[in-house]
Structure formats: structure tokens, C-alpha cells
């Protein structure tokens, strides 16, 4: 990579080396115009066999499987899957709550920026068109899906210059992603999901109903998950003006019950919407999360039309 490479500020050589040769495959059948790695909705001659179908008049004789004829004494035609490219959109939460990070760790927003860059690099390398929505109270940046590695620069520069601010307008951002991505695309959502899960779930449902394959990465700092503080803490609301002086040991059990209930509500909202979801502890290296996504998607069984 050259010094002018747009991903250099966010990804070091070790991360780039681990991403080499990785791919993100869609479970669903996709629509595209260029050659890529996803299964196409269009049937035809290709390198990958799909299924047999019974011969009907008009089918091309060159696709008759003569071995199947000899075995079953019946005519079958081979069908194949084209491989295609697809549109993809990364939705990044830039609200004020994403600005939190324990001392010595990336903030949730910085963590999201690294993952978004990794995903963008993988998607563009495999000829998919990359789009993005960066949001806080509302969408702050919308990038229409395009191919070409240079397209990543616009995203990384926007991520680098944005400062987490405002409340969380996730529902509107998801609707914008649906409009940008078109039909049957890949959508990755990077957010702490610290807002009402119900509107989020409805927007996710609209995405999956439109044919999109959606993955939600809920990013939370270890402090938010465990409340590890041992002395009195003056908490400041990042998206409100509230302040609260508390003794953490006195409220830890109650806090963890409330957090567990919220995490379950987010998980249930995603499940109802048929969106994949993963809880991410930002104490984990971002590249490990990306490699987990790659491993899950490349090993998942392929769904039929």
C-alpha cells in the first residue's frame, strides 16, 4: 500500500495482511450487473452447478445430464448459477453516545470506523459497490454505492472528520440505506443501539422485506457491559444534559439487569426483522470481529431462491 492509500490512517499493515484473500458472501440470491462472488437470480451456464430440473421442450440439449438419464431413465437438465456483484451499504452511528471509550481503548465511534473501513475494503476488492450512511440525529453523509477502490477515500475522510454528536436517529438512517442500496443488497449496521429497539426493528424489517441481507453489530464498551467502577462516579449523559452521582457497587446488580433486558430487546427486534445480530465488546480487537463475520458468512449454508 502506498502512503497515499485512503485506508492507511485506519488500518495498519498487520490488519491489511489478515484481510488479504478474505471475502464476504451473501446468503441470499443477489441482483448485479458485473461479475462478482454472489449467487445471481439469473440462471444460465456458469462454473457452479445449482440443481437439476426435469427436461421440458425448449430446453437446450447441451444442458442435458446424460449420466442422470442413464441412471434414472429420465431426462434432466442441469441448471447453473451465475456469480454476480451486489450493492452494499455500511451504516455508521456517529451520535454522541458513540464517543465513549474507556481510557486506553478506542471510542465506540473509532472502533466502528475501523470495522467500516475493513468491510469497505473487502467489499470493493470483490467488485461489490460500496455505499454508506453516517448519521447522528439524522443522516450526515450519504454515499451512493459505487465500485472502485478510490471510492473508499470519501468514506474514510468523512469518518475521520466527523465528531460524535447529537442523539441517535437510527430508524431514519436505516430507511436511507434501504433507498440507497436498491434491491437485494448487503447492509452492515454499526451502532451501540442505545435507543428504543422497536423503531429500529421496524426499520430493519423494511430492509429485509425489500430483500436486503442485514447484519447488526451492536458495539458496546466494556465499562457499559460490566460497570467495573469501584468508587463514586459522576456520570454525564452524552446525549442528554443529565448528570448523576452514584456509588457503582450499590447499583451494579440493578444496572446489569437493565442492561441485559435491553440487550435482549435489541436481539429480539433483530430476530423479528430477520436480521443477523452480534454483540461486540470493544475490548476485542476490531480485526477479530471482521474475521468472525468473514468466517460466518463464508461457512454459512447457501440459501435457495
CATH numbers and ranges of domains, the chain: 13-21+86-299 (3.40.50.410), 38-84 (no CATH)
CB 89 within 8 Å of CB 186:
yes
Identify the weakest region by mean pLDDT among 6-10, 36-40, 68-72: 36-40
> Structure pTM?
0.75
User: SS3 for the chain, per residue?
Assistant: CCCCCCCCCCCCHHHHHHHCCCCCCCCCCECCCCCCCEEEEEEEEEEEEEEEEECCCCCCHHHECHHHHHHHCCCEEEEEEEEECCEEEEEEECCHHHHCCCCCCCCHHHHHHHHHHHHHHHHHHCCCEEEEEEECCCEEEEEEEECCHHHHHHHHHHHHHCCCCCCCCHHHHHHHHHHHHCCCCEEEEEECCCCCHHHHHHHHHHHHHCCCEEEEEEEECHHHHHCCCCCCEEEECCCCCCEEEECHHHHHHHHHHHHHHHHHHHHHHHHHCCCEEEEEECCCCHHHHHHHHHHHHHHCCCCCC
> Tell me, what's the pLDDT at 18?
73
> Could you tell me the three cell numbers for 204?
430493519
Identify the weakest region by mean pLDDT among 116-130, 217-231, 250-264, 274-288: 116-130
Residue 284's contacts (CB-CB under 8 Å, 6 or more residues apart) are none
Residue 165 has pLDDT above 70, yes or no: yes
Of residues 87 and 75, more confidently modeled: 87
> Tell me, what's the pLDDT at 49?
46
Give per-residue pLDDT as tens, 47-78: 444 455 565 665 666 667 777 667 777 676 66
Task: Report the C-alpha gap between 173 and 137 in whole angstroms.
Answer: 9
Q: What is the mean pLDDT of residues 17-21?
A: 67
Amino acid at each position: 500500500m502506498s502512503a497515499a492509500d485512503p485506508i492507511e490512517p485506519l488500518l495498519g499493515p498487520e490488519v491489511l495482511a489478515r484481510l488479504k484473500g478474505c471475502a464476504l458472501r451473501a446468503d441470499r440470491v443477489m441482483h448485479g450487473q458485473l461479475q462478482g462472488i454472489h449467487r445471481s437470480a439469473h440462471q444460465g451456464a456458469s462454473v457452479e452447478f445449482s440443481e437439476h430440473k426435469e427436461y421440458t421442450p425448449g430446453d437446450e440439449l447441451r444442458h442435458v445430464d446424460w449420466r442422470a438419464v442413464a441412471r434414472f431413465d429420465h431426462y434432466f437438465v442441469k441448471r447453473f448459477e451465475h456469480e454476480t456483484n451486489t450493492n452494499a451499504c455500511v451504516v455508521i452511528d456517529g451520535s454522541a453516545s458513540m464517543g465513549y471509550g474507556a481510557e486506553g481503548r478506542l471510542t465506540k465511534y473509532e472502533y466502528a470506523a475501523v470495522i467500516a473501513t475493513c468491510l469497505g475494503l473487502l467489499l470493493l476488492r470483490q467488485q461489490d459497490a460500496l455505499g454508506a450512511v453516517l448519521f447522528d440525529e439524522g443522516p450526515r453523509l450519504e454515499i451512493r454505492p459505487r465500485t472502485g477502490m478510490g471510492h473508499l477515500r470519501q468514506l474514510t475522510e468523512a469518518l475521520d472528520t466527523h465528531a460524535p454528536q447529537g442523539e441517535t436517529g437510527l430508524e431514519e438512517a436505516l430507511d436511507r440505506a434501504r433507498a440507497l442500496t436498491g434491491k437485494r443488497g448487503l447492509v452492515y449496521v454499526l451502532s451501540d443501539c442505545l435507543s428504543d429497539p422497536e423503531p429500529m426493528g421496524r426499520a430493519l424489517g423494511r430492509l429485509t422485506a425489500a430483500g436486503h441481507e442485514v447484519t447488526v453489530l451492536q458495539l458496546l464498551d466494556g465499562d457499559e457491559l460490566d460497570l467495573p467502577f469501584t468508587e463514586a462516579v459522576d456520570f454525564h449523559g452524552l446525549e442528554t444534559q443529565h448528570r448523576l452521582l452514584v456509588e457503582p457497587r450499590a447499583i451494579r446488580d440493578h444496572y446489569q439487569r437493565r442492561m441485559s433486558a435491553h440487550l435482549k430487546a435489541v436481539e429480539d427486534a433483530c430476530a423479528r426483522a430477520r436480521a443477523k445480530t452480534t454483540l461486540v465488546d470493544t475490548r476485542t480487537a476490531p480485526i477479530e470481529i471482521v474475521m468472525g463475520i468473514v468466517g460466518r458468512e463464508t461457512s454459512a449454508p447457501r440459501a435457495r431462491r
